[in-house]
Structure 1
Amino acid sequence: MTSSYAELNQRIDYVFKVVLIGDSAVGKSQLLARFSRNEFSLDSKATIGVEFQTRTLAIDHKTVKAQIWDTAGQERYRAVTSAYYRGAVGAMLVYDITKRQSFDHVARWLDELRSHADKNIVIMLIGNKSDLGTLRAVPTEDAKEFAQRENLFFMETSALEATNVETAFLTVLTDIYRIISKKSLVANGESESGGNSGLPKGTKIVVPGQEPSVAANSSCCMST
């Protein structure tokens, strides 16, 4: 991935790795292209293995580089891509609203994600291709109920029409930033409780109320 000249000269405060997962042909690559380059291609080919794009943006006056990984949905690549969950702080779990099977597989993808990724990862369930409403096979309510049950953010998007794509990514990235910045405050001894700047390296810091499940409950289930 080639960064722009401006990006290379920009001070980066945080780098967040986010993975896109879900069945093949649900539109993961198109969501990535729309968010990273504001592009959409009707003749997009299946992703082989893993690809990634970056986009730098400002969150709360900090410069955040989002490193978005696009994982191939085909079964034969899943063993290869499982290693790429490591280090991810966010995940977009994508299904196609016109393909019921892609939604039925969401639970399996979620199990795989949770078994490989950090337990504090911020996850958003995305029902893509909302522009094809007349072909809908997955009721919005079904997805909302699943998201609430699993403590996920939820949003329906259209990569084709650029509907909610920016909002979906920004919601996840902002929540990641909020969790990590709060943990930094605790680690630096700047929390309201006084903190402990002398914590040994590698000590796990638990910030009350900042688990993704809590954050997701407060903002989940947004759709067009």
Structure 2
Amino acid sequence: MKGYKLVLLGDAQVGKTALINRLLHGRRLEKYEPTEGVDLTPVAIQTNHGSIRFIVWDTAGQQELGGLRDGYYIDAQCAIIMIDVTLPYSSYMNWHRDLVRVCSKIPVVICGNKNELRTERTERTGCTLQAAFGRMNLVYYDISLKFKNNLEKPFLYLARQLTGNQKLKLAMLPKAPSLIRLTEEENEC
């Protein structure tokens, strides 16, 4: 089975490692432990056209480790940039800029985590951000690791882009098919 290299980017503590843990094991991380360098994790999703495997390069978000990142991006075929919707959004542009400098034309998804903590002010900002990402031709999904909302959507979108099959549907998530229940409408992303 072919594996697509997916780089998972974003500031420290936005939920990058927690996303992979939630998908594969169905549980939340009890305490924060920063990623040092990069962790590689295979994640396979089951679709109506078979299994699609991502090799997720979960990168460190600490600024002091920034010099290593370009090497992690080489040969990446897709990316997820995670942001925390409760914090200012300035850094996502830096992540995107650095990524496209190394891999110019790969599908990229922005995931705004912690949407359950949004206030009225950040909800308005979120709408503005979604429009801004759209103008940049980037796909954006609000996700919640706490409530398991929309965790499958970035992977399904990337699988569709990589395979060129827009009719691709998710059959089940990795290792924990009961982790997220999809209705037919939700499977249409």
Class of the TM-score when normalised by the shorter of the 2 chains: 0.7 to 0.9
The structure-2 alpha-carbon separation of the partners of 1:107 and 1:126, relative to structure 1 and needing over 3 Å to count, comes to: same
- The amino acid across from 1:115 in the alignment is R
Is the CA contact (8 Å cut-off) linking 2:9 and 2:16 kept in structure 1? yes
Task: Report the equivalent of 2:160.
Answer: 174
Task: Report the equivalent of 1:215.
Answer: none
The one of 63, 66, 81 aligned to 2:54 = 66
Q: Give yes or no for the alignment of 1:19 onto 2:7.
A: yes
Unpaired segments of 5 or more residues in structure 2?
166-188
Q: Give yes or no for the alignment of 1:57 onto 2:45.
A: yes
Q: Counterparts of 1:25-174 in structure 2 under 5 Å?
A: 25-100=13-88, 103-117=89-103, 119-134=104-119, 137=122, 139-174=125-160
RMSD value over aligned CA atoms? 1.9
Is the CA contact (8 Å cut-off) linking 2:13 and 2:32 kept in structure 1? no
**Cα offset, 1:173, TM superposition:** 2.1
Across the two proteins, how many residue pairs are aligned to each other?
Answer: 165
Paired residue secondary structure (1:165): coil
Is the CA contact (8 Å cut-off) linking 2:9 and 2:79 kept in structure 1? yes
What is the TM-score normalised by the length of structure 2? 0.80
Unpaired segments of 5 or more residues in structure 1?
1-11, 180-221
Q: Counterparts of 1:196-215 in structure 2 under 5 Å?
A: none
Is the CA contact (8 Å cut-off) linking 2:28 and 2:145 kept in structure 1? yes
Q: Which has the higher helix share?
A: 1
For 1:136 and 1:26, how far apart are their aligned partners in 2? 19
- The amino acid across from 1:52 in the alignment is L
Paired residue secondary structure (1:174): helix
Q: Which has the higher strand share?
A: 2
Work out which of the two has the higher radius of gyration on C-alpha atoms and give 1 or 2. 1
For 1:57 and 1:158, how far apart are their aligned partners in 2? 19
For 2:138 and 2:50, how far apart are their aligned partners in 1? 25
Residue by residue over 1:140-191, the C-alpha shift from the partner in whole angstroms, topping out at 9 and shown as x without a partner, is: 2122122112101110001111110112222222221217xxxxxxxxxxxx
Q: Relative contact order, CA 8 A, sep 6+: which one is greater?
A: 2
